[in-house]
Amino acid sequence: MPTARAAIASDVPPAAGTAGRDAEVPPEQRILLAAIAIFSEHGFDGATLRQITDRARVNLAAVNYYYRSKDELVRRVLERLMGPIQARLAALEACEAAAAPGFPTLEAVIEAMVRPTVTLSRDESGGRPLIRLLLQVRALPRPETARFFQERVDPIVERFVAAIGRARPELARADIFWRYNFALGALMQVLTDSDPSLLRLARQSGGLCDTGDDEAITGQLVAFIVAGFEGPPAGAR
């Protein structure tokens, strides 16, 4: 006799060529991956559960069984958004450990901020949709996403601000926060443009700028952001 979990997805026929792949991924995981993709395309408010269940190849009862509601599914997707952000923190901790007992250079701190996000943005199986969704969450905040950033992301921002402050002790904290925010803007802009559906920079530069080259993106971003932090304090002449 089939289990309750198996029965939930059993009445949804697989598309041609997808039966084997779907069988390898549990329905709960398929729903979550589908939700990330659909939310990244349509936003939290614009996406429907029907779109998610169609993408996941399950029925609506599966969402209720595993996640109870769309709001709970949104919460679980937000938890997955911590992946790219935690990757930055892990890279920062690694460069701090490598520099001990001293402090990492400004270049090392900024690379820890940039490289994991660039790398994840290339992962079509999960990383790129997460980055797209992260861009959307930043551009179109909602109360729950604002709480998410305050509770989960702000402490990581503080870790980077502190590391930058050790590398540039002459900068006021206000200057560091301003420039960190500008740096994130530059990072998100480049990642948006590197989406295969856009490639504006590659087109505008006549192919001089290859937004498909991770090392080129990382090197250019690190150089640009470091130069911003190395500028004089605001108001200095």
For the stretch 207-217, pLDDT in tens is 898 878 889 99
Q: Is a pLDDT exceeding 90 seen at residue 170?
A: yes
Q: How many CA atoms lie within 13 A of 38 on its CB side?
A: 22
Torsion of CA 65, 66, 69, 75, to 10 degrees: 170
Phi/psi at 69 (nearest 5 deg)? -160, 165
What pTM, to 2 d.p., does this model score?
0.77
Domains, the chain? 4-67 (1.10.10.60), 80-230 (1.10.357.10)
CA dihedral 8, 10, 16, 22 (to 10 degrees): 60
First to last CA, the chain: 78
| CA pair distance 38, 55, nearest whole angstrom | 8
pLDDT tens across 118-152, in order? 887 766 655 677 777 777 777 777 787 888 888 88
Angle, nearest 10°, between helix axes 70-99 and 27-46? 100
User: Which pLDDT value is given to residue 168?
Assistant: 95
Longest CA span, the chain: 78
Other beta carbons within 10 angstroms of residue 153's beta carbon come to 19
Q: How far is CA 210 from the centre of its chain?
A: 21
What local confidence, expressed as pLDDT, does residue 141 receive?
Answer: 75
pLDDT digits (tens, 9 = 90+) for 9-24: 333 333 333 444 555 7
Q: Does residue 201 sit in helix, strand or coil?
A: helix
* Residues 6+ positions from 191 with CB-CB distance below 8 Å: 117, 118, 121, 131, 135
- The pLDDT of 58-71, averaged and rounded, is 90
